[in-house]
Amino acid sequence: MPHLVRIDWPHTGIPDTAPPLTLPECRARLAALRRVAKARGLEAVVVYGDREHFANLHWITGFDPRFEEAVLVVTAKSALLLAGNECLPYTAISALVQAGDVQTELCASLSLQSQPRQSRSLKDLLAEALPPRARIGTVGWKYYGPTEVDDPATALEIPAFLADPLRALCDRVENATDLMMHPSHGIRARVDAAEIARLEFSNQMAAAAMRRMAFALHDGMTDFAAYQAGQVGGLPLGCHSTFATGAMAAQGLSGPTGQVIRRGSPLSFNVCHWGSNICRSGWAAMGAEDLPEGARDYIHAFAGPYLDAMSRWCGLMQPGVLGGAVWAEMHAALPDEMFGLFLNPGHLIGMDEWLSSPIYEGSVEPLASGMAMQMDVIPGHPIYASTRMEDGYVIADAALQADLARDFPEVLARCQARAAFMRDVIGMEVPACLLPLADTCGIIAPWLLDPAQVLAL
């Protein structure tokens, strides 16, 4: 039976920095894109990026557009990165640009409104970079299924100002985003040892801020003060920071608005960096007596069964387990009429908070070594509100763990220490192939005014 224990939250330490994205890695990624494009019969791939939808472009080049849009044109023999007025100098952050593997050129139409437009037009630049009348694929941030659009192959999510000239110049323009983002065959859907080290750094930074925030909470504190107490570091945010309580308690995507934390109110908050999203939900309370009368069995009726289900979720995170089996087990363990699960109970995470997911109803896509999984199982109830233990994990077989032990042994040691904590202190089912990326993994603190009280099995 789930019960409360009083413990010190684990603290395995944060490395000084994450390993940089190297030129050999970028070259291998660019080669992978060319390989899968050729296999699909595409003569070129055009990758679009903007401030929010940057992850595919960044994964290849190490460059992300700031303020503006950017376009990468990749053919079998060349690669051209088009950027606006302010981003063009910043393209030098890319190891591929530095090495000359990717050429750059100004496209002023990608700049902000009213800035100088002293460059060739986007259409002329594309015409020069692309093979004539080619069959090309575009990569934005989303692909579609047959129930959403008439023709998924040609339904483009990129802006019309890019799609229109491409369609005018090329014989066929296809949506190729799945080549990068699909959970089974996308080239971004698996991570290696270096990427695990980067993800762990991000998760630890976010988890440390979450810990500081949780232990600073008190009755009468504003949400602005609570967020400030987290001392959120300088890593870029992967999504809007949330803090929902008081009148905004039901608005899960709300950020701080000046609400005051009051004892007996629901509370949820997150810290999300590129590669991580650490989120917790519970009650602004010291114990069950602080809750509304109808919710005082919260641990027995809601948070406890959730922890039990998340233990099973961890146990399922093994290569070969079908995504549909995870979906079915989570919905059986957390019945819809009580827990109201709506989104996928787990998904892939990368530089973008949600890459895609092999976990959906009826999925026959197997989990695989190298999948960076977000434990993102979101219950909701009109009386019990919510509970949450959202952190990052990587499924890693013996070969991948051997790579990690060779190149980043301290990362593997921290992950193994977290797994031991989850097993030995919390009582969760954590297979040897599952690497917890954050010190918050396994922690549910239902009474957020006394976060040293955590649930255990």
Residue 292, classified by CB atoms within 10 Å of its CB into exposed (0-12), middle (13-18) or buried (19+), is: middle
Q: Which residues of 167-200 are buried (b: 16+ CB within 10 A; e: fewer)?
A: eebbeebbbbbbbbbbbeebbbbbbebbbbbbbb
Instruction: Give the H or E element holding residue 393.
Output: strand 392-395
Q: Which two tokens stand for residue 93?
A: 């952050």
- pLDDT by residue (tens digit) across 111-158? 999 999 999 999 999 999 999 999 999 999 999 999 999 999 999 999
Residue ranges matching CATH 3.90.230.10 in the chain: 3-16+188-456
Residue ranges matching CATH 3.40.350.10 in the chain: 41-175
- pLDDT by residue (tens digit) across 402-433? 999 999 999 999 999 999 999 999 999 999 99
What is the model's pLDDT at position 432? Answer: 98
Which parts of 144-205 are beta strand (E)?
Answer: 172-175
Residues whose CB is less than 8 angstroms from the CB of residue 339 and which lie 6 or more positions away in sequence, other chains included? 302, 305, 306, 379, 380, 381
Residue 20, classified by CB atoms within 10 Å of its CB into exposed (0-12), middle (13-18) or buried (19+), is: exposed
Task: Tell me the C-alpha distance between 455 and 302, whole Å.
Answer: 12
- pLDDT by residue (tens digit) across 338-387? 999 989 999 999 999 999 999 999 999 999 999 999 999 999 999 999 99
What is the model's pLDDT at position 252? Answer: 80
Neighbours of 245 (CB within 10 A): 27
What is the model's pLDDT at position 246? Answer: 87
What is the model's pLDDT at position 387? Answer: 96
CATH class of 41-175: alpha beta
Q: Are 293 and 277 in contact (CB under 8 A)?
A: no
* pTM above threshold 0.85: yes
The mean pLDDT values, 10 residues at a time, for the chain of 457 residues are 94 90 98 98 98 96 96 98 97 98 98 94 98 97 96 97 98 98 98 98 96 96 95 90 88 89 96 96 97 97 98 98 98 97 96 97 98 97 96 98 98 98 98 98 98 98
The length of the chain is: 457
How far from 71 is each of 48, 50, 122, 326, CA to CA, in Å?
Answer: 5, 9, 10, 37
How far from 74 is each of 81, 104, 182, 281, 447, CA to CA, in Å?
Answer: 9, 12, 20, 44, 52
What is the model's pLDDT at position 14? Answer: 83
Q: Treating both helix axes as pointing N-terminal to C-terminal, what angle do 409-421 and 398-407 enclose, rounded to 10 degrees?
A: 120
Phi and psi at residue 115, to the nearest 5°: -75, 165
| Third-level CATH fold of 3-16+188-456 | Creatine Amidinohydrolase (3.90.230)
What is the model's pLDDT at position 168? Answer: 98
